[in-house]
Chain A
Amino acid sequence: MAGFDIASGFVRLARHVQDVGDLVEAISTTCASMHIQYFALSHHVDFRREGNSAIRIHNYPPSWERWFDDHALGRLDPIHRASHLANTGFAWTNLPLMMRLTPEDQVVLDHAHRIGIGEGYTVPANVPGEMLGSCSFAVEPGRTFPEDLQLACEVIGAFAFEAARRLTQARAMSFTQVPILTDRQRDCVLWAARGKTDWEIAVILGISHETVIQHLKHARERYGVQKRAMLAVRALFDGAISFSDILKR
């Protein structure tokens, strides 16, 4: 059971890493023992805007990061987007089955291939209330990604992402920067997210139209956003409201 031995070895290393350099070393060594050249562990954000608190460690060719950031791909990268649709790891060869690829997506995939990144496998790494992330593993073009090691990558990706959270500020920021809404503000945000107008929300909650406007204004101020849609997105992101809240009948 070689895959499990490799994964266990990585978990032992990951528990004791003291800094990001150690972690890169541990992942690189582990990947090398599987004959996997590349890994990339990343939050899915625009790194030119939010690079400080987000995690990104990888051993892709140096030109990749620059190109990636110049194109603001953190949130748009097709692999990242596909991982938001997946609840488990996926092979990049399955990408066309998971979502419709746009011409821009094809440009990204072609560019990766050109700079030496071939087939790969991505493990989604999402912790509720925090930025979405993933851990990818890839081989050089022309080689087949070793299928028998996909499940080992699943384990390595999960533990690597957690080690990265521990070593960076990712954990701290999720708890300190969440604005707190009052119950009434939250109720208004929830109904707004369900598509109700201020007047409709007033009728539903049995409060005045003016009060609803005030609650939503204060809620927007707490999040520092201008628009109703952005308010709903932020409240969803930090868990003040949930998808099931919005969608349930």
Chain B
Amino acid sequence: MVLLVDTSTESGSDAVFRSMFAARKRVFIDLLKWDLPVLAGQYEVDAFDNAHARYLILTDTDHNHLASARLLPTVRPHILGDIFPTLCAGPPPRAPGIWEITRFCLDRSLRAGERRALRNWLVTAIAEHALRSGIRRYTGVAEMGWLQQILSFGWHCRPLGLPLPHGRGTLGALEIDITPETPALLEAGGVWSPIPLQETPARRAACA
């Protein structure tokens, strides 16, 4: 069973956050070799992990991290606007209804079959979060291989500028429209997969 923590509507427990930051260190630093700060030798936490960030975290019933994403408001400092603005042909998008998806993270301990299921749950949760909270567009920076996978989900994407070489790969910037049509587009892409309502903690609390 999978639980979803949405920190915009509930406060995640310390255990969940610790588990997520440790998982991010294993993925982004140990596996992908990104040049990021490490806290206490085991957590990946940066300047954007602050009170303005929202997190969508999928965990098992013991609150161990399975997958997560960080959402940053584009009206405040964020990755595209403040670190990679050159990936945009024009000014980086900044508006209250536009948020940036960052640190899309699937736990390294997941087996290949589980990864796909978790990825689909997380993408769906990201789209549902936008529809529920009035976000109409996401932006994001992605390495080109991952960018191709983001396109394959089926939602409407546009490039924000030409990609640029970065490290050993090439980075590109995208914007993703979220509209009432998005669930159907993700469905056609084989990705739409809402977590059953009764499995989320908020619903269980409401039923208790």
Contact = CB atoms under 8 A, between A and B. Distances in A.
Interface of B is mostly: mixed
A87 B145 contact: yes
A7 B162 contact: yes
A158 B147 contact: yes
B45 interface: no
A129 to B, nearest CB: 7
B47 to A, nearest CB: 28
B190 A174 contact: yes
A152 B164 CA distance: 10
A3 B162 CA distance: 8
Contacts of A161: 148
Interface residues of A, number: 38
Nearest to A181: B113
A1 B162 contact: yes
Contacts of A124: 145
Interface of A is mostly: helix
Residue from the set A1, A88, A126 with the largest chain B CB neighbour count within 10 Å = A88
A8 B175 CA distance: 12
Residue from the set A128, A158, A241 with the largest chain B CB neighbour count within 10 Å = A158
Contact of B149 (A128, A151, A154): A128
Contacts of A242: 111-112, 115
A81 interface: no
Given A151-B164, A154-B172, A88 B116 contact: no
B163 A162 contact: no
A225 interface: no
Interface string B175-192: 000000000000011100
Contacts of A127: 148-149, 152
Nearest to B110: A242
Given A162-B151, A165-B152, A239-B113, A4 B162 contact: yes
B152 A155 contact: no
Contacts of A152: 162
A101 B93 CA distance: 45
Interface of A: 1, 3-4, 7-8, 11, 15, 87-89, 123-129, 151-152, 154-155, 158-159, 161-162, 165-166, 171-172, 174-175, 186, 239-242, 244-245
Interface of B: 31, 89, 108, 111-113, 115-116, 143-145, 147-149, 151-152, 154, 156, 158-159, 161-165, 168-170, 172, 188-190
28 contacts: A7-B159, A7-B162, A11-B159, A15-B156, A87-B143, A87-B169, A87-B170, A88-B169, A88-B170, A123-B144, A127-B148, A127-B149, A128-B149, A152-B162, A154-B144, A154-B163, A155-B159, A155-B163, A158-B148, A161-B148, A162-B151, A172-B190, A174-B190, A239-B113, A241-B111, A242-B112, A245-B111, A245-B112
